[in-house]
Amino acid sequence: MASYPTHASVAALTCSLAALGSYYLYFKYHHQYPYESFTTHYLLSTLMLFISWRISASIGMVGVTPLMCIASILTLFNYILCARNDLKEQRLPHVNTLIHNTKLEWQLLFIRMVIGFIFIQHFTEKLFAGPEAQQVMLQGFEQLGFTRPQQWLYIAGLIELAGCFSIGCGFLTRLGAIGVTLY
């Protein structure tokens, strides 16, 4: 009997490929646009890396964990290196400071990533964990009095996914924060 991939393994593979694609675009265009492409590609690739890591861990793909750990350490190292180089270049007299991030902007970028990426754990459990893990959450929704707990489980997962993307990547941040707060 052939084994078919679950929707969670397909999602983990898709997120991994999206992260690799974003890293590829970043390194391809980094020489042409060195300061304009870092933040967008870095945030998207880091988000996809963490999502694929969480989904892989939740479905038991144990062999992927060391690779994702190494990739996460390299991603953090890339962040520190780019922030250090950017702040060092700002001190040079001939450099245009409008295209560089300030120390405060680098700190806010890190805080935004941490706050936004906290939602990864929550929406992956709701959307990709599988029927066994979702059963506990469905019972929780039933105890709260929801008539269609399965539908509300997916709505909650999509709201958390949108909040993760908007806050973590800085895309429509206020709208995402309001949506997550109302949820």
Length of the chain in terms of residues written:
183
pLDDT at 34: 58
pLDDT at 94: 59
pLDDT of the chain, 183 residues: tens digit per residue? 334 456 667 777 777 777 777 777 766 766 666 555 567 677 777 887 888 778 777 777 777 777 778 888 887 887 787 777 777 776 666 555 555 667 777 777 888 888 878 888 888 888 877 777 778 888 888 888 888 888 888 888 888 888 888 887 778 888 888 888 877
pLDDT at 1: 38
pTM for this structure? Answer: 0.71
Q: Return the domain boundaries, the chain.
A: 1-117, 118-183
- Ramachandran angles phi, psi of 142, nearest 5°: -65, -40
DSSP state of 37: S
- Contacts for 86-92: CB closer than 8 Å, 24+ residues apart: 86/35
Q: Judge contact between 106 and 84, C-beta under 8 A.
A: no
